[in-house]
Chain A
């Protein structure tokens, strides 16, 4: 999947656990897990906004674009 979610890195930097983050931004731990493991298909701007607010970062710190290596 071309868009990678790099939550683990910044969670470690801010010394916050996933469960804590989920609670602070108001989503379930299951949903946060879907995000972290790149199984999500889309993220709402409102969710992204809350994440950046809580972690004091910018979307670029969390989202990364990696080109697909395989070409059909």
Chain B
């Protein structure tokens, strides 16, 4: 059964997929391009890989969830697993950014602005992880209600 979501939903879906592809290209191409331009690659730039991959996983879960929205199978165990993966990815990214801060304050002279900026990013991704966890619990309850309703003759 096909479901319809609003125009904004369709726009977001397309945007998500475009950003996903752009991100893959950036992550794969960034360091080699910098090397080719003879720009010094600080050790810290290598953090792009774990953070990037985790973020791609996160976005992919969202793409799959959008798909399930379209097919009206939103309240399913599959989506709960996807929300779990998304939450774990987000939490991992927050940890990576935190490590980046510690790493750079030890190895480089980082401006105060950068430190504050990275702390903000850490808290942001922690917030996303928390929101995804809450959503997961809500979905779990919703599935129970749906099953109860489906099995009421």
Residues of A with Cβ closer than 8 Å to B? Answer: 27, 31-32, 34-35, 39-44, 47
Q: Which residue of A lies closest to B151 (CB)?
A: A41
Judged by a CB distance under 8 angstroms, whether B147 is at the interface is yes
For chain B, residues 131 to 147, give those with C-beta under 8 angstroms from any C-beta of chain A: 147
Count CB-based A-B contacts (< 8 Å).
Answer: 23
* B153 contact set on A, CB distance < 8 A: 27, 31-32, 34-35, 40, 42-44, 47
Once the chains are docked, how many angstroms separate the CA of A39 from the CA of B148? 11
* B148 contact set on A, CB distance < 8 A: 41-42
Judged by a CB distance under 8 angstroms, whether B38 is at the interface is no
Would you give the 0/1 interface string for B28-49, flagging 1 where the beta carbon is closer than 8 Å to chain A? 0000000000000000000000
Once the chains are docked, how many angstroms separate the CA of A43 from the CA of B149? 10
Task: Show 20 A/B contacts (Cβ-Cβ < 8 Å), sorted by A.
Answer: A27-B153, A31-B153, A32-B153, A34-B151, A34-B153, A35-B153, A39-B151, A40-B151, A40-B152, A40-B153, A41-B147, A41-B151, A41-B152, A42-B148, A42-B151, A42-B153, A43-B152, A43-B153, A44-B152, A44-B153
Once the chains are docked, how many angstroms separate the CA of A44 from the CA of B152? 7
Once the chains are docked, how many angstroms separate the CA of A47 from the CA of B147? 18
Once the chains are docked, how many angstroms separate the CA of A52 from the CA of B153? 14
Q: Which residue of B lies closest to A48 (CB)?
A: B153
Q: Which residue of A lies closest to B148 (CB)?
A: A41
Once the chains are docked, how many angstroms separate the CA of A30 from the CA of B50? 49
**Min CB gap B76→A, angstroms:** 18
* B147 contact set on A, CB distance < 8 A: 41
Q: Which residue of A lies closest to B147 (CB)?
A: A41
Once the chains are docked, how many angstroms separate the CA of A27 from the CA of B151? 13
Besides the known contacts A27-B153, A34-B153, A41-B148, 6 further A-B residue pairs in the complex with CB atoms under 8 A apart: A40-B152, A41-B151, A42-B148, A44-B152, A44-B153, A47-B153
Q: Which residue of B lies closest to A35 (CB)?
A: B153
* A43 contact set on B, CB distance < 8 A: 152-153
